[in-house]
Amino acid sequence: MAQQSLKKARIIFHVDMNSFYASVEMAYNPQLKGKPLAIAGNPEERKGVVVTSSYEARARGVKTTMPLWKAQRLCPELIVRRPDFDRYRSVSKKMFQMLEDITPYIQPVSIDEGYMDVTGTEQYRSPIEIAQNLQQAIKNELDVPCSIGIAPNKFLAKMASDMKKPMGITILRKRDIQEKLWPMPIEDMYGVGEKTASKMRTINVSTIGDLAQSDGYQLKQLFGINGERLKNRANGLDERSVDPDAVHEFKSIGSSQTLPADTDDETEISQLIGKIAENVERRMKRKQAAGRSIQIMIRYHDRTTVTRSKKLNDYIEKKETIMDTAEELFQKHWNREPIRLLGITVQETDEKQNIARQLDLFTYEKEMEKEKLQITIDRLTRKYGKDTFKQMQDETSHELRTSFQKDFLDDYKK
């Protein structure tokens, strides 16, 4: 894939849709505008948590992942809508198409955000003008607000887009980081989670500036190579390119589900395993993928969580095989206490055409083993069908369950 030259100073945008699900609902139903709105899961079940909320709701203390009952207690007039992922996906596709009208270097990272490398386009318009026109076009055509960060690399662009919401445009240059970036709490740094931040505070790193000036050896001892990476980012260093093909990189495909009530009923658990395995199979079909390792996650009533996995001899993709292996792992590692959540993940995954291609190249180099290749092809044909070695048609899309699903992120190219 051709990429923008790293020798030339890059101009990277991070485009982040503001309160995306809520904003799309407001665009669809203008009567919701200006009102406290929350998008939440099934209110009748315990998994009813706030997925996102409008800025009016946030002003009342409503936060993402907050239990719905708590959000409604903080804001009694809160309007609740269940997520409509087909609607969000449609708007997302149109948004990314608008980005691609400016540059082919688009890297979607979720349904509502992505990077753009606009290096070279500034000879026609200034970066700030490009951003202003794009932001206004998205607002005019989709009635959804966005914030745009402009910087010489992806990390700084991401940090910049968070600095002014909604409808903000922020430029963050390397020469600005001591003034704008370093005073920020370490928790506000992209890539630093709650546990990492807590660990950093044990070595007196409480701001991004502290991290930028901290001892590299000590960071590596605590966080491995990620410690060095985070320190570089705090100093404004990030050489990652905007990669349009990154959306296709995946190593695992999974699904999980919370039970309406804690249970130790084996029949109910077995049915749930079947349902989750079916979800995983559907997602693997969408990606035309297969995998060779199964992992289960068991979360108990007290929130204790365990994960266990099993490596398989062959690549798998079918619900029955996924379900049987998951059931085996569950029965082996379940402590008979009531469970709250179950998850199944197929790991070491790849596209089926790549699996076939790897086998083909392997045997091409070893001419004497052609007979073994044919046996392997026959086995793959029986397992995956006769079109294993061809680019397959896309499956009909199914409902998306989270904003982090990447299965659809190249739809804008179709």
Give pTM, 2 decimals: 0.67
| Mean of all residue pLDDT scores within the chain | 85
Return the pLDDT at 1. 40
d(CA 91, CA 111): 9
350 labelled ligand-binding: no
Q: pLDDT per residue over 321-351, tens digit each?
A: 999 999 999 999 999 999 999 999 999 887 7
Domains and CATH numbers, the chain: 21-85 (3.40.1170.60), 177-234 (1.10.150.20), 250-354+390-394+407-411 (3.30.1490.100)
- pLDDT classification of 165: cutoffs 50, 70, 90: very high
Please say if the pLDDT value at position 374 is more than 70: no
Please say if the pLDDT value at position 313 is more than 90: no
The DSSP secondary structure of 309-333, one letter per residue, reads: EEEEEEEE--HHHHHHHHHHHHHHH
d(CA 99, CA 91): 13
d(CA 94, CA 347): 32
Please say if the pLDDT value at position 397 is more than 50: no
d(CA 195, CA 193): 6
Q: Give yes or no: 113 in active site.
A: yes
Q: Which of 8-17, 29-38, 47-56, 272-281 has the lowest mean pLDDT?
A: 47-56
DSSP class of residue 214 equals S
Nearest of 51, 49, 151 to residue 111 by alpha carbon: 51
The DSSP secondary structure of 255-278, one letter per residue, reads: EEEEEEEEE--HHHHHHHHHHHHH
- Kindly name the residue from 25, 113, 281, 317 that is annotated as catalytic: 113
Amino acid at 358: Q
Return the pLDDT at 364. 38
Please say if the pLDDT value at position 151 is more than 80: yes
16 labelled ligand-binding: yes
Q: How many CB atoms lie within 10 A of CB 264?
A: 14
Return the pLDDT at 120. 85
Higher pLDDT among residues 389 and 73, named by residue: 73
**298 forms bridges with which residues in the sheet?**
306, 342
Coil, strand or helix at 204: coil
Mean local confidence (pLDDT), 389-413: 47
Please say if the pLDDT value at position 358 is more than 60: no
Mean local confidence (pLDDT), 33-56: 82
Return the pLDDT at 379. 63
Return the pLDDT at 6. 44
Cβ proximity of 149 and 170 under 8 Å:
yes
Amino acid at 82: R
Return the pLDDT at 280. 93
Q: Which of 35-49, 81-95, 210-224 has the lowest mean pLDDT?
A: 35-49
Please say if the pLDDT value at position 377 is more than 90: no
d(CA 212, CA 44): 47
Q: pLDDT per residue over 242-301, tens digit each?
A: 998 776 666 788 998 888 889 999 999 999 999 999 999 998 888 788 898 999 999 998
DSSP class of residue 11 equals -
Mean local confidence (pLDDT), 221-250: 88
d(CA 271, CA 258): 13
Please say if the pLDDT value at position 353 is more than 80: no
Q: Which of 8-17, 240-249, 359-368, 376-385 has maximum average pLDDT?
A: 8-17
Return the pLDDT at 355. 64
